[in-house]
Amino acid sequence: MRRVIIATDAAEPVGPYPHAVQVGNWLFLSGIGPRRRGSTEIPGVLRDREGRIIGYDFETQCHATFANVGAILRAAGARWEDVVDVTAFLTNLERDFATFNRIYAQYLGHVQACRTTVEVQRLPTPIAIELKCIAYVEGQ
C-alpha cells in the first residue's frame, strides 16, 4: 500500500512533492520548516525597514516547524509517539543547538526517537530549521 499525504493545516511544500508518503506502516515526511500555509511571511524572520532579512527568532521558528510536523502526522492518522527517526537541519548549530534541544524535548523527548542534527549553510527558503521525520504507524 502506498498513500500520498497532503496536510491542509501544514505549510505548502516549496516544490513538487507531498508532505508525506505512507508505505505500509511506514510514514516518510518530507522536510518541512516554519512557514505557514497560505502566507509568504515566515514566522520568526526579522526584517529591517526596507524588508531585508536581518535575523531570525529561532524559538518561534522551532515551534512553527513542530506545528507543521504535527499537522502532517495528524493528516496521516499518526501521533508524535509514532515518530522513530528525525533529521534536523539547522543553519547555526553554535547559536541554536541548545534552544533546539529544549524545544525538541517538549514535542519528542518522551518518544525517544533516533535523531541526527546537522548544520547546513542554507535552506531553500530563508529559514533556520527544517525537520525530516520517519514514523511507524501500527495498525494501518
Per-residue pLDDT at 140: 61
pLDDT of 32 > 80? The answer is: yes
Q: Residue 100: what are its φ and ψ, rounded to 5°?
A: -60, -45
C-alpha grid cell, residue 111: 518518544
Under DSSP, the state recorded for 8 is T
Distance CA 99, CA 102 (A): 5
Q: What would the mean pLDDT of 10-14 be, rounded to a whole number?
A: 93
Q: Residue 114: what are its φ and ψ, rounded to 5°?
A: -65, 150
pLDDT of 139 > 80? The answer is: no
Cβ-in-10-Å burial (0-12, 13-18, 19+) of 122 comes to exposed
Per-residue pLDDT at 89: 98
What's the pLDDT tens digit per position in 85-137?
999 999 999 999 999 999 999 999 999 999 999 999 999 888 999 999 999 99
Per-residue pLDDT at 112: 95
What sign does the CA torsion over 125, 85, 90, 104 have?
positive
User: What's the pTM value of the predicted model, to 2 decimals?
Assistant: 0.94
Distance CA 55, CA 42 (A): 12
Owner of C-alpha cell 510514514: 27
In angstroms, the Cα distances linking 94 to 13, 19, 25, 79, 87 are 28, 29, 36, 30, 17
% of the chain with per-residue pLDDT over 70:
99
Average pLDDT, the chain: 95
Q: What would the mean pLDDT of 25-48 be, rounded to a whole number?
A: 93
Using 50, 70 and 90 to split pLDDT, how confident is the model at 40?
confident
Q: Residue 26: what are its φ and ψ, rounded to 5°?
A: -90, 135
pLDDT of 7 > 90? The answer is: yes
**Number of CB atoms found within 10 A of residue 38's CB:** 7
